[in-house]
Structure 1
């Protein structure tokens, strides 16, 4: 529904930036988080994730489904839990993070978050442009050329800018109704894809090793929920404080889990009989080739729409993150800056880079570690009962409550850095066996070979901050006492 405030009305540009939302402007229901994360995960990128589980990790379909449930639902339950900070403090995730890391110490996590957002946007934009190119070829016989590629990129970016530029209320409204439409269309397409499955090969496929299941869960978690963990508060900040936190956690977990489990499972089914999806440089065309020719148009529309639903959320969060970094422009203009970078990234992927999945998985592997380290610190800080000072969050000067020592909160910053180092020790980032970008000295250990460097980062970050930050202040003078519901969800 439309908000009753001038800052958050459907169809008008949201004027609020990163400043906390006062209680009298809070509105909405926990179900908004369900639609938010459903919309973010109905894109076809879930299919190649499932394909990877079978083609590269050797799992059978039952193991792949288990991995999808644990990895996707579990990681988005974490997203929901972290979004409670937004409900409590009324500000975007990385703005609230100033209270934990200090005004200057927060620049590191914020920069990593922004890079993550831009990377996801570039991947979504590239895939959507492939979908639009294929649609134009199907309808009009247009071939793929440089000019047409640039036009397709611009069309998708313009759609993204329209939605994310208008802001929170419009996004919430579109998430609900467009997701229903594209969701139904995706279900129809999925039904036809299921008909192409070679069930004999699927049922005869041997089970993979248990270590591969663990690695698969880590891969899915890092490629889905972990990538969104530092954005949950961005969409929960308008919600009333009185909403039970448990509802937000469940809405987030099931909102993302339903489409992801279906898409990842289907990708696994398709790859059990044909590995082309997992190795294709253009996943849109690979999936399109599996469908009857007359299904091409609805499929490509569904692909384009699903990617748009994900991209406008990422772009909205990226705009807020850029302002938190210090970009002194209105929120809508920050979004404009972000889409320019998105366009340049799309050009690189489509017209310069020769591989799609290599950079994709390498990107996920590397950025998952510092994001996970941030998660570990934030979780401990939330459990300690953090209260947010709205004025101090926006005061970046030396007089701010969150200036700490020279702008840094040493316990949090130290824990984050130590956790990153620990995570990277167990991390391998490579596009192929012959193209290794980075390999930690413990990457061949059990944790390393199973891709759990990000989990090490969470655990170490939480443990170090729990020790170093045990005497750090988390309360605010004269702050309202937390409700019983808030206490129950810590």
Structure 2
């Protein structure tokens, strides 16, 4: 397939699906990863994360800032390391995962990843619709009703579909320029929010225990980078192989780290004087209530735009994941199917369900465990220098090099399953103290109480796979291609 048929240029519909990008169609630079992850993290959903650190985890502002720096930069450095597979193999993350789990064994991680994507998209879409409803109420004085709710959902989804449907090149362009615009608006809003901080209360808060800092880092990592770990390769697959891996890791870490540290730190400051934000079911309304009335319009525009930046990335990845699962449609149609599901989810949670954030956040907490288990296995395989066979990746029949045993690569699939079980032993999913969905036998331990079941799952997945599958992949699996090379992911990251 030639560059002219893939149409990977701004404003044109990207026709490439999940098939690997050949070397002669690679373009771009490492800085694109900076703008990609900056765009994904400028939404106001970062503020409640910071509020939780102070209100519920007992940290002071200096500890909260330290947690924000380590958790944000560290987790997105991991995203950067995982995105190197996209540069090496030229395909989306879950498509490359076929080489590790087998053509059939990869279905489990892919399905979980897709469910997680749709879940976060529904949360983002619903939150953005509430922001748009509030904006219309201020400008035109109209009250929320069923028709207006549906219209607001459709407007946000149409914006998402326009960007995600066009594809990679348009997304890269939008990420840079729209992020600058919405980022400036966010800075203005943040400046007014800082003016509401009760500095006496902030400075009077005593430091929390070191264990709280460790748990806080895990909490921030789980709520930020870990959620994007299975999508990094989706945006690096068009990059030339010659780009040093170190630059991708640094660009990813700083692209997400800069906005997240600012938002999380501000959320911590706000919560020091008022714990309302940490427990608010609607963070958009809670933050709006802290601002002077005349600031509501720029704030709600910034909120809507920031949520859109995150949502179009998630939707793009979800479309690729659906194709990897076996949906036999062109990539733009896969995105269309995804936004229909997103719309139905928004209708349910805004017009039918009485509670939205509680149950859905609980569901996504459970999904973090199998996603983390997948990350652990993928990291070990990447460190051992995995090379990808582009023909075998797309061959889902028994003749594929990645068919293994009945379509399953048993070391990877078993490690993933064991890691999920162990991680769930330390996991508790609940919407309140009385409404417990699931609680593992060790959920009341320190690790469980501090929500580190996902971290245990990642460690166990990596350990089991490393012990069982000891033979390093030192010989390239694919025929030599222009610009290809061997060597481990860690070696690449250090170049």
TM range (shorter): over 0.9
- Cα 1:119/1:477, change in 2 over 3 Å: closer
> Which residue pairs with 1:457 in the alignment?
457
Specify every segment of 5 or more residues in structure 1 that has no aligned partner in the other structure, as ranges: none
How many angstroms does 1:362 deviate by?
Answer: 1.6
Q: How does 1:369-388 map to 2 (within 5 A)?
A: 369-388=369-388
How many angstroms does 1:289 deviate by?
Answer: 1.1
- Cα 1:254/1:5, change in 2 over 3 Å: farther
Alignment partners' CA distance in 2, 1:387 and 1:15? 25
- Cα 1:447/1:178, change in 2 over 3 Å: same
- Matched residue pairs, number? 488
**Contact kept? 2:327, 2:334, Cα under 8 Å:** yes
Alignment partners' CA distance in 1, 2:187 and 2:412? 45
Stretch deviating more after TM superposition (105-114 or 340-349): 340-349
Tell me if 1:179 matches 2:179.
Answer: yes
**Contact kept? 2:358, 2:431, Cα under 8 Å:** yes
Q: How does 1:84-163 map to 2 (within 5 A)?
A: 84-163=84-163
RMSD: 1.6
Q: Residue 431 of structure 2: SS of its match in structure 1?
A: strand
Show CA shifts across 1:106-126 (max 9, x none): 000000000010011001101
Specify every segment of 5 or more residues in structure 2 that has no aligned partner in the other structure, as ranges: none
Alignment partners' CA distance in 2, 1:424 and 1:484? 34
> Which residue pairs with 1:476 in the alignment?
477
> Which residue pairs with 1:73 in the alignment?
73
- Cα 1:326/1:209, change in 2 over 3 Å: same
How many angstroms does 1:448 deviate by?
Answer: 1.4
Q: Residue 382 of structure 1: SS of its match in structure 2?
A: helix
**Contact kept? 2:96, 2:393, Cα under 8 Å:** yes
How many angstroms does 1:213 deviate by?
Answer: 1.8
- Report the TM-score, using the length of structure 1 for normalisation: 0.97
Show CA shifts across 1:126-174 (max 9, x none): 1100110010011011111121111111100000000000000000000
**Contact kept? 2:384, 2:489, Cα under 8 Å:** no
- Report the TM-score, using the length of structure 2 for normalisation: 0.96
Stretch deviating more after TM superposition (286-295 or 232-241): 286-295
How many angstroms does 1:478 deviate by?
Answer: 3.6
Q: Residue 429 of structure 1: SS of its match in structure 2?
A: strand
- Cα 1:205/1:361, change in 2 over 3 Å: farther
Alignment partners' CA distance in 2, 1:188 and 1:224? 23
Show CA shifts across 1:291-326 (max 9, x none): 111111111100000000000000000000000000
> Which residue pairs with 1:437 in the alignment?
437
How many angstroms does 1:350 deviate by?
Answer: 1.7
> Which residue pairs with 2:213 in the alignment?
213
**Contact kept? 2:385, 2:489, Cα under 8 Å:** no
Alignment partners' CA distance in 1, 2:61 and 2:358? 24
